Amino acid sequence: MAIPTRFLVISDTHGDPLRHAKLTEVVDVVIHCGDLTEESKLSEFKTSIELLNAIDAPLKLIIAGNHDWTLDIPMFQKKLAEHDPLLEDELVQKEYGRFGEARALFDNAAGIVFLNEGMHRFELSNDALLNVYASPYTPSVNDWGFNYPPTEEHTWDIAGNVDVAITHCPPKGVLDRVAGSGSVGSPGLFAAIARARPLLHCFGHIHTGWGAKRVGWHVEAEIGDQALTHMTAIDGDTTVAIQNLAKLKANVKSEGDECTQSLRSKGFCATAMPAELAGKATLCVNAAIEGPDDASQQVPWIVETWLARTSVPQKETPGSNKRKNGFTESVSGKRSCMIE
């Protein structure tokens, strides 16, 4: 039997607290899709932990973004080595910490799980089983964290049993448009999502791409095809733009108007991914909080979907709060260059 599970999704907070969202809703899992900071300073990471601690949820999953470059140790070392003049160690440690210190802040924070790249498996406190793919990588020619050259394609090892994909980068052609540059997402990531077809794919990075879109998949598309494109994979008749900045600006109602109503009254957008669409569609959510300019903020997303039940339901001990007992069952997959 499928179990209803609620996710609160945010991204690109850039070291700032949430100014608009009240976040009093009960959720099972919080997801942060990276860019926890603006300048990768320890003080910004600590603000991010305070933000996450203020949200009532049993499990909080986070990844890094390109602005979180001190979590990418080789890039951290490269920046220090190339700085002219060389920075004093005391100053570096005060602002950015020692190698691995920022990561340790999250590893020591109760209820927060920092995800390395790869597949992860969780048994949730509502007795649901959650399979997650995570990756912090984005295409770029700049010296940011977790970048790869746009002329080369990254390997996105997303397993077929994935429920939720959490990436910092958007897939090509989905909530990824930048004025003057067009669609800047990853073609390889799009193909990997089209093959795996998770219930939910959440990301950020492109602030102007904020919104949600339910992408319908062609049933006859070859899932094993490495060259899956929008033309071969997406079913336009079943694809729905739920909400985006253009629709908000034009005051166009979203699907069922649930998003608009919750946005105005509660400071977030809400939508759902029906269980019967599993394998037929993927709900894509760009949850970038920082708006098109540094001073503006966009609202988080709350997504409800349905997950498989764990084989052995968790037992609640007398006097305990079951909602606070989310835990990792097992983790597998390729390790990133983040320090454990």
The confidence score (pLDDT) of residue 177 equals: 94
Token pair of 260 as six digits: 């608009």
Reported confidence tier of residue 314, pLDDT bands at 50, 70, 90 = low
Average pLDDT over residues 143-169: 95
Mean pLDDT of the chain: 87
Domain ranges, ordered by start, for the chain: 2-308
Question: Is the model's pLDDT at 121 over the cut of 90?
Answer: yes
d(CA 35, CA 290): 10
**What percentage of the chain carries pLDDT values higher than 70?**
86
Could you read off the pLDDT of 201-254 as tens digits, one per residue?
999 999 999 999 999 999 876 555 556 888 889 999 999 999 999 888 887 666
Whether the CB-CB separation of 205 and 170 falls below 8 Å is answered with yes
d(CA 229, CA 191): 7
Give this prediction's pTM.
Answer: 0.89
Look at 115 and 257; give whichever has higher pLDDT.
115
Cα three-residue angle 202-274-158, rounded to 5 degrees = 40
The confidence score (pLDDT) of residue 292 equals: 85
d(CA 10, CA 181): 24
Phi and psi at residue 183, in whole multiples of 5°?
A: -80, 120
Could you read off the pLDDT of 94-118 as tens digits, one per residue?
999 999 999 999 999 999 999 999 9
Could you read off the pLDDT of 62-75 as tens digits, one per residue?
999 999 999 999 99
d(CA 306, CA 310): 13
For 2-308, give the CATH class: alpha beta
Which residue shows structure tokens 């062609």?
218
The confidence score (pLDDT) of residue 257 equals: 62
